[in-house]
Amino acid sequence: MLSRFLHMLHLTKGERALATAYAGVSATSAGIMMFVMAGVKGGQLQSVYPVGYEIWIIMAGGISGAIALYLTRGWMGLSGGLGIARALFGGCATALIASLIGGTLIVPVYGTFFAPIMVVAAFGLKPWLAVAWFAVILAAHGLLMRRISELREAALAADDSAIGQLSPMSQANLYPKHKHL
């Protein structure tokens, strides 16, 4: 069923990887947001807030996670050890930006200031929460690497087709070390 739906969208492997990365970070951000908000009033989220407020918390967490990943996408997707280090730094930035946006959506003034502090405190008090967050960030990093490699291949294919249209003399003068010569 899912494969039929994805086939109808005509997504490439890199686009599917990108969508999966955004979905994973959004879902994890929503879960962490719900976990942090449940601890605000001693775990009695349903009795303190109005009906449907939990849905808004989950939606705000998901939206803020997607926006934060979009804003920090430049830190992710590079290969090698430096790429992993950049992804971990980007994961920290993503968590803080997502908490800032989510806190603003949930409680505009109070949440903007205290949500990042609450997320850092939750990561410190529950290290498994931070491990889960960074596991999802590293998975998103790997998925973004797929997307970037697909874009590079497409750019090289487009570059090759443009070079192939040049005369041999122009190719030799403009691209002396090109593989087609």
| 162 occurs within a structural domain | no
Residue 135's alpha-carbon distances to 57, 142, 152, in angstroms, are 22, 11, 26
Residue 45 resides in a domain: yes
Residue 143 near residue 23 (C-beta atoms within 8 A): no
Q: What are phi and psi of 112, to 5 degrees?
A: -60, -40
Nearest to 24 by CA among 144, 119, 169, 120: 144
**Using H for helix, E for strand and C for coil, what is the string for 89-138?**
HHHHHHHHHHHHHHHHHHCHHHHHHHHHHHHHHHHHHCHHHHHHHHHHHH
Q: Is residue 69 part of a domain?
A: yes
Q: Rounded distance, CA 2 to CA 167, Å?
A: 47
Model's pTM, two decimal places? 0.78
User: Does residue 3 lie within any of the structural domains?
Assistant: no
Position 181 pLDDT exceeds 50: no
**How many domains would you assign to the chain?**
1
Cα–Cα distance measured from residue 133 to residue 142, given in angstroms and rounded to the nearest whole number = 14
C-alpha 39/C-alpha 70 separation (Å) is 28
Per-residue pLDDT band for 97 (boundaries 50, 70, 90) equals: very high
Inside any domain, residue 140: yes
For residue range 147-161, what is the model confidence (pLDDT) as tens digits?
888 877 777 666 666
> What is the domain extent for residue 118?
14-149
In a domain, 22, yes or no: yes
What CA–CA distance (Å, rounded) separates 11 from 16?
6
Identify whether 133 is part of a domain. Answer: yes
CA distances, 150 to each of 24, 37, 52 (Å): 20, 39, 41
Can you tell me the distance from the alpha carbon of 35 to that of 123, in angstroms, rounded to the nearest whole number? Answer: 11
44-85, pLDDT tens digit by residue?
555 556 677 888 899 999 999 999 999 999 899 888 899 999
